[in-house]
């Protein structure tokens, strides 16, 4: 039998942090871990018998933990069969089965998933960032530009969010901080014109990476999506194989709203990946499970803190270990070992 994702995580970590980034995941997901644990503890405080009332409460608990409706229903249905098969009654054992189901479902949904950022083999790489206002899009761009610049890549930023007051200036501040140039136009100007100028400059100067900031809100959703499509066409006229990545930035603290945004954008922008910000700011880290299981779009970057170096590549095993650490490391009960 192939080792499950849950068992691979246990084997990989053995209850011990391996490095600084693992510790970052651990710290950033503390609130989510505590929130999930508190919800399970509350459920089991009234634990008498594993009956239909228990499964109804479990489904509500999982939905409340932001793992997504589809995921909650599937886990609850599978747990019914598992409990009957294994005759599990101990609350700790049931809790571990719940987590194992979540983790293995998460691993199954991510099979063959590519969480890495893609770069062009020749010529400029273009990363197009999209998302609603307030999700942390411009800040994420600034942090990524800083990291790429430190790695020795030449970076150019395009301030194509010409509609939000202060957006251009915010990106320019990041450009100064990162020591990377910013192509900008007038506030309220044509975003596609800014992107065209940036692409032409990137080609002329043989820039390694061009990162494009975009508006998160126009007069209505149709206008926003049309503008994003126009920007993409401008890029592809000059660089047919670009953008290499269309990354949707969503605020991890918004829970199910983040999933709704991802579904909406994915219908119109052909996203290649997600960036989840502010995972350290709330107990809603379970949204990553929902995104992966229901949307099947890879998470590529995560915000694990407010520092400039706290934008991390998404690593599934470290994320899951950080989210369920206590239960993954907990010793098995005699009932489980039978």
Q: What is the spatial distance between Cα 64 and Cα 34, in angstroms, rounded to a whole number? A: 14
Both 230 and 149 in one domain: the answer is yes
pLDDT digits (tens, 9 = 90+) for 84-98: 777 766 666 777 777
Residue 1 confidence (pLDDT) above 50: no
Joined together, the tokens standing for residue 78 give 């599978």
Residue 254 maps to which CATH number? 3.40.50.300
Give residue 76's pLDDT: 87
Do residue 275 and residue 155 come from a single domain? yes
pLDDT at 334 over 50: no
On whether residue 11 sits in a domain, the answer given is: no
Q: Return phi, psi of residue 185, to 5°.
A: -125, -170
Binding residues: 131-138, 213-217, 277-280
pLDDT of residue 199: 98
The verdict on 66 and 179 lying in the same domain is: no
- 280-296 pLDDT, tens per residue? 776 667 777 777 777 77
| 260-264 average pLDDT score | 80
Alpha carbons 183 and 212: distance in angstroms, whole number = 10
- What confidence score (pLDDT) does residue 335 get? 47
pLDDT tens digit string along 186-237?
Answer: 999 999 999 999 999 999 999 999 999 998 875 467 788 888 889 999 999 9
- Residues 37 and 181 reside in one and the same domain: no
Whether 297 and 211 map to the same domain: the answer is yes
Query: Contact, 135 vs 252, CB < 8 A?
Result: no
What residues are designated binding site for GTP?
A: 131-138, 213-217, 277-280
- The SS3 of residue 249 is strand
How far is residue 327's CA from residue 41's CA, in Å, rounded to a whole number?
12
Q: How many domains does the chain have?
A: 2
Q: Is residue 330 in some structural domain? A: no
Of 159, 166, 162, nearest in space to 145 by CA: 159
pLDDT (tens digit per residue) in 130-171 = 988 888 999 999 999 999 999 999 999 999 999 888 999 999
**Helix orientation angle between 221-238 and 256-269, rounded to the nearest 10 degrees:** 50
Q: How far is residue 171's CA from residue 166's CA, in Å, rounded to a whole number? A: 9
Model pLDDT for residues 23-69, shown as the tens digit of each residue: 887 887 787 777 777 777 788 777 667 778 888 888 888 887 777 78
- Domain end among 113, 144, 178: 113
Write out the DSSP string of 141-207.
HHHHHHHHHHTT--EEEEEE--SSTTHHHHHHHHHHHHT--EE---TTS-HHHHHHHHHHHHHHTT-
pLDDT of residue 147: 96
CATH number of residue 27's parent domain: 1.20.120.140
**280/301 same-domain check:** yes
DSSP 279: G
Burial call 143-180: b when 16+ CB within 10 Å, e when fewer: bbbbbbbeeeebbbbbbbbbbbeebbebbeebbeebeb
| Residues 129, 73 share a domain | no
Better-scored residue on pLDDT, 331 or 39: 39
pLDDT in tens, 290-326: 777 777 788 899 888 888 888 989 888 888 777 777 6
Please tell me the number of Cα atoms within 13 Å of 85 on its side-chain side. Answer: 7
**Predicted confidence band at 5 (pLDDT cuts at 50, 70, 90)?**
low
Half-sphere exposure of 325 (CA within 13 A, CB side): 21
265 Cβ contact partners less than 8 Å away, ≥ 6 residues apart: 130, 131, 248, 271
- H or E stretch at 128: strand 125-130
Range of the domain at 282: 125-322
Q: Confidence class of residue 336 from pLDDT cuts 50, 70 and 90?
A: very low
Q: According to the model, what pLDDT value does residue 2 have?
A: 42
The answer on 82 and 161 residing in a single domain is: no
Is residue 106 located within the same domain as residue 135? no
Residues 64 and 182 in one domain: no
């Amino acid at each position: 039998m192939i080792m499950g994702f849950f068992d691979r995580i246990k084997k990989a970590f053995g209850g011990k942090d391996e490095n600084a980034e693992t510790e970052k995941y651990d710290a950033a997901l503390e609130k989510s871990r505590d929130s999930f644990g508190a919800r399970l503890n509350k459920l089991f405080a009234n634990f008498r018998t594993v009956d239909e009332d228990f499964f109804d409460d479990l489904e509500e608990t999982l939905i409340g933990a932001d793992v997504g409706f589809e995921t909650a229903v599937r886990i609850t249905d599978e747990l019914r069969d598992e409990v009957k098969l294994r005759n599990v009654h101990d609350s700790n054992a049931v809790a571990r089965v719940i987590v194992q189901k979540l983790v293995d479902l998460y691993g199954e949904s991510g099979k063959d998933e590519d969480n890495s950022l893609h770069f062009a083999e020749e010529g400029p790489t273009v990363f197009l960032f999209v998302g609603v206002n307030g999700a942390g899009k411009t800040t994420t761009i600034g942090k990524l530009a800083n990291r790429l610049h430190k790695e020795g890549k030449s970076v150019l930023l395009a301030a194509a969010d010409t509609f939000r007051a202060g957006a251009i200036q915010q990106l320019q501040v990041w450009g100064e901080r990162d020591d990377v140039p910013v192509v900008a136009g007038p506030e309220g100007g044509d975003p596609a014109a800014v992107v065209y100028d940036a692409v032409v400059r990137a080609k002329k100067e043989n820039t390694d990476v061009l990162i494009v900031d975009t508006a998160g809100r126009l007069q209505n959703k149709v206008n926003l999506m049309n503008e994003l499509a126009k920007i993409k066409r401008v890029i592809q006229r000059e660089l047919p194989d670009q953008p290499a990545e269309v990354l949707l930035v969503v605020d991890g603290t918004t829970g199910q709203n983040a999933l709704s945004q991802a579904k909406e954008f994915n219908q119109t922008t052909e996203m290649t990946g997600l960036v989840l910000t502010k995972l350290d700011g709330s107990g809603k880290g379970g949204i990553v499970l929902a995104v992966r299981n229901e949307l099947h779009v890879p998470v590529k970057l995560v915000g694990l803190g407010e520092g400039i170096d706290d934008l991390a590549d998404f690593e599934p095993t470290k994320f899951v270990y950080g989210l369920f650490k206590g239960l993954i490391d907990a010793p098995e009960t005699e009932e489980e070992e039978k």
